[in-house]
A and B are shown apart, each in its own frame.
Chain A
Amino acid sequence: MSQIADRLIDDPGLAAGVAQLTPERIEEVVNRVLKGETGAKLKAYQETCMRCGLCAQACHYYVSHDGDPSYSPVSKTTETIYELMNKKGRVEPSRIYEMAQIAYTECNLCKRCAHYCPIGIDTGYAMSMMRRICYLLDVVPQYIRDTSHSHAATMNQMWVKDDEWIDSLQWQEDEARDEFPDLRIPLDKEGAEIYYSVIGPEPKFRTQLIYQAAAIMHVAGVDFTMPSTPGWDNSDMSMFVGDFENMGRLKRAHFESAQKLRVKKIVMGECGHAFRSIYDMGNRWLGYADMPVPVVHAVEFFWELLTEGKIKIAKKLEGPVTIQDPCNIIRGRGLMDKLREVTSMLCEQTVEMIPNREHNYCCCAGGGVINCGPPFKNVRTKGNKAKADQLAKTGVHTIICPCHNCHGGLEDIIGYYELGMHPRFLGDIIYEIMEKPEGL
């Protein structure tokens, strides 16, 4: 068995944060959060957990490290937030470094362990509150801290400036008009049927996804718009950092930019964590039980377009594919059936990974772990041998993967274990194989 102290990783954000800590400051912040922000839920979890260890095999980190008990969900909570609760925050600064590394990089908040706990303990919630404490102590991995700062300063994840955003959309519109002479990406169109929102990395370095989405909207004849103002980015790393104040600002900007345009609904691109932010965390922080504007994920949207015949498939994708079930839209929102229906409408053959659907293994990138940057890349690749084994067993080349985080995570795992596979977005495939009528 290893210990967190044996596997500490140098990170400037964690190191600088811990350097300015004092035991008094830790005690003050911990108790402020425990008394002010947490309540019966966390207390009941800590008290009623029987330490039976059934959650261990739920966790891909535990499985991937050959059953190293320090990676089990119950161990991770015991070593972090529960210890702070027991000691009433009286721990040394160096301990906070260890706790932050566990909370930010050794748990993807995927909640798979929920399927194994007889009592119903939500480890994801407990780890989120641990991150909240780390954030308030300013002990946060540098890369994800920077991302959250970007959210705070620009209302998007990638320091995309307001004019650069508009410029990117117009650039893609211009490009696409070579192929579809009448294609438009309407900005700020009031009363449009659909408000299409993406995550910050799309204009930054996956701009072709916006092109493809616009092409699909155009061919399907969808009345859509994209906002020219902040709020366009539905992503939310502040949520994963524990910066709930900025999480609230982001979601408010997102919902309000849609409300200002009086759209009927928001369609979100193929991202998982952004979806979690609107149905689970950001909405609750703002006091909405549900979403103030109806929101559908790309999987649902594509399902509608395909079943209504608005998009026709010219020729199905050849060769078998497998399906990566992103936690936040599958275990988070029950879209597994629609994902499979869409996949079967697009692809000739599907080979399922086992386990799958809501019992899937996480990609190990989610929960903000990939956003913690290069220092923690090995944590993700070595921490998800389970997924590599799962993927290898399918023997396929293409992975249907409707989530940005899963893409990044799987690409890294595929590279590290030399699996020779390739994850693809649904939009990417639809764009490739849909009928594109002449003269549109």
Chain B
Amino acid sequence: MIEIYTFVSGPLAWVAWSIFVFGSIYRLVSMYNLAKAKDSSSLAYMSLPYSLRSIFHWLVPFGTLGWKSDPLMTVATFAFHIGFFLVAIFLGAHVVFWDTAFGISWWSLSDTTGDIISFVVIGACVVFAVRRLTLPHVRNVTRGKDWFALLLVALPFVTGVLAYHQIGPSLLMTTLHILAGELLIALIPFTRLSHALFAVFTRSYMGSEFGGVRRVRDW
């Protein structure tokens, strides 16, 4: 078991991160090349000020019509994304990992805070899932890919909480947690989670067109 753990937390982590980094670069570069080849009539309108204006407004909870229209979804979305990054980067156990792997260390969350945030993130995932199951306009367009993406992001948190609270065999849970995290990291560029890479550009384009060409707000 310890060999599996060593493998998962060592070489496999490097594999996962490599797939993430090179996969992301590949996806971004090829998408940009495709845009240059086929979407020049849109690229020509890209504007940094209008992009930032749009991104800023959409980063404010309840700052847009969309965010105002579905408060539960808005709270869940912000809680999920903020919690995701806080835990991934600042959780005590993760900070130790950053330190041992890369020799870099920074401020970390207390264990209790990290635990609470993890539950919040899981709660947000539950909200997403319940929406998919119960709201007709969401259920109607939900496909396997959407469930898979949700599963990918929920698993590291669920296994993390189990491992932290020592529910089940500790080493196994920790190994599963790391595996789930690696699966998530490696698959971001190739699943619906690729919105992490592309959303900033789709948002920017909408902001540029609504600001520069249409001269109106896009929020």
Contacts and interface: CB of A to CB of B under 8 A. Distances in A.
Given A51-B142, A118-B58, A40 B31 contact: yes
Given A37-B38, A43-B34, A120-B54, A115 B219 contact: yes
A118 B78 CA distance: 11
A117 to B, nearest CB: 6
A330 B216 contact: yes
Contacts of A69: 136-137, 139-141
B156 interface: no
A314 interface: no
Contacts of B39: 39-41
Contact of A119 (B41, B137, B195): B195
Contact of A120 (B32, B146, B207, B217): B207
Contacts of A51: 132, 138, 141-143, 146
Interface stretch (B3-11, B89-97, B168-176, B198-206): B198-206
B35 A41 contact: yes
Contacts of A57: 69
Interface stretch (B16-24, B60-68, B118-126): B60-68
A358 B65 CA distance: 11
Interface string B32-71: 1011011101101100000000100010000011110110
A190 interface: no
Most interface-central of B67, B141, B195 (chain A CB within 10 A)? B141
A115 B217 CA distance: 8
A75 B201 contact: no
Interface stretch (A331-339, A343-351, A391-399): A331-339
B77 interface: yes
Contacts of B192: 47-48, 50
A336 B135 CA distance: 35
Contacts of A21: none
Contacts of A50: 146, 149, 192, 195
Nearest to A70: B140
Nearest to A59: B137
B214 interface: yes
Nearest to A1: B136
A2 B199 CA distance: 31
A43 B207 CA distance: 18
Nearest to B59: A118
A72 B77 contact: no
Contacts, number: 145
A74 B132 CA distance: 14
B38 A39 contact: yes
B35 A114 contact: no
A1 B202 contact: no
Interface centre among B41, B58, B131, B216, by most chain A C-beta atoms within 10 angstroms, is B216
Given A54-B73, A289-B44, A358-B216, A120 B202 contact: yes
Given A50-B192, A120-B199, A330-B216, A40 B34 contact: yes
B210 interface: yes
B165 interface: no
Nearest to B64: A115
A424 to B, nearest CB: 24
A72 B138 CA distance: 9
Contacts of B206: 114, 117, 120-122
Contacts of A332: 214
A284 interface: yes
Quick one: which of A37, A45, A53 has the most chain B CB within 10 A?
Answer: A53
A55 B91 CA distance: 35
B140 A1 contact: yes
A41 B42 contact: yes
Contacts of B202: 44-45, 48, 119-121
Contact of A333 (B136, B142, B214): B214
B213 A280 contact: yes
Contacts of A41: 35, 38-39, 42, 205
A78 interface: yes
A37 B64 CA distance: 32
Residue of B35, B64, B77, B137 with highest tally of chain A CB at under 10 A: B137
A338 to B, nearest CB: 11
A230 interface: no
Interface string A311-348: 00000000000000000001111101000000000000
A227 B187 CA distance: 60
A114 B218 contact: yes
Residue among A52, A115, A285, A359 having the largest count of chain B Cβ atoms under 10 Å: A52
B18 to A, nearest CB: 22
A60 to B, nearest CB: 14
B38 A38 contact: yes
Interface string A10-22: 0000000000000
Nearest to B77: A118
B108 interface: no
A359 B210 CA distance: 13
Given A43-B34, A67-B137, A48 B199 contact: yes
A55 B73 CA distance: 12
B193 to A, nearest CB: 9
Contacts of B136: 1, 67, 69
Nearest to B32: A40
A279 interface: yes
15 contacts: A41-B39, A44-B31, A48-B199, A53-B131, A62-B137, A114-B206, A115-B217, A115-B218, A116-B64, A118-B66, A118-B67, A118-B77, A121-B206, A280-B213, A289-B45
Which 10 A-B residue pairings sit nearest by Cβ, starting from the closest? A39-B38, A334-B215, A120-B206, A40-B35, A48-B195, A53-B138, A69-B137, A116-B66, A69-B140, A120-B203
Given A51-B141, A72-B137, 6 more contacts: A40-B38, A51-B132, A52-B77, A122-B206, A333-B216, A358-B216
Interface of A: 1, 37-41, 43-45, 47-48, 50-58, 62, 67, 69-70, 72, 74-75, 78, 114-122, 279-280, 284-285, 287, 289, 330-334, 336, 358-359
